[in-house]
Chains A and B, each alone.
Chain A
């Protein structure tokens, strides 16, 4: 179906290590993708976005990779910190401007 999904519901990472959060999408017509971070008791917060004409985009400590061949999106967080603990959502936007969020991955930081 036309949905955005995530491979793992929970990811545990040692503090200081790199985190990789994955997302599979099924709609080849989607042309814009966004990663959001949602901390407990708060609304989602924009992290980084990428358009379908790109395969990589970097921000501060974060990198998003887009593989259109296998319809896969990933978020890499470098040197994971306790403040990175949250639920991470990917979202895809279709060409008719519809947005669909994935179910989310909880990132748990181990001390």
Chain B
């Protein structure tokens, strides 16, 4: 049973560029959430996708957008990258919408913005 997978593992981008990160949920899960984790900090919730729609959103600007596909996989897009966007981006999947369902996290994508 495959767990949550994310790609790429590492990524280096320049300020102003755009980036797309990908996530495949754990088999059988239908909900994907994205988090940003700065070095030495706890994860911060970005948004959650269920049934191909954004259901919840944290305090992140519109530069952060996402998509969920019919197979439940998801993408996180960040436009006009800033240095402060450098972080570990975590994807978590669950069976069911909302935060009270157990979330399974992937290993993350390390994004460095120079």
Contacts and interface: CB of A to CB of B under 8 A. Distances in A.
Contact of A93 (B41, B100, B107, B108): B100
A83 interface: no
Instruction: Tell me whether chain B's interface is mostly helix, strand or loop, or mixed.
Output: loop
Nearest to A102: B42
Given A102-B42, A103-B40, A103-B42, A46 B103 contact: yes
Chain B interface extent, by class: 20 to 34
A93 B99 contact: yes
Contact of A43 (B42, B58, B100, B105): B105
B98 A97 contact: yes
Given A101-B42, A103-B42, A104-B42, A46 B4 contact: no
A43 B100 CA distance: 18
A45 B108 CA distance: 12
A97 B92 CA distance: 16
B41 A43 contact: no
Contacts of B20: none
Interface of A: 4, 32, 41-46, 49, 89, 91, 93, 97-104
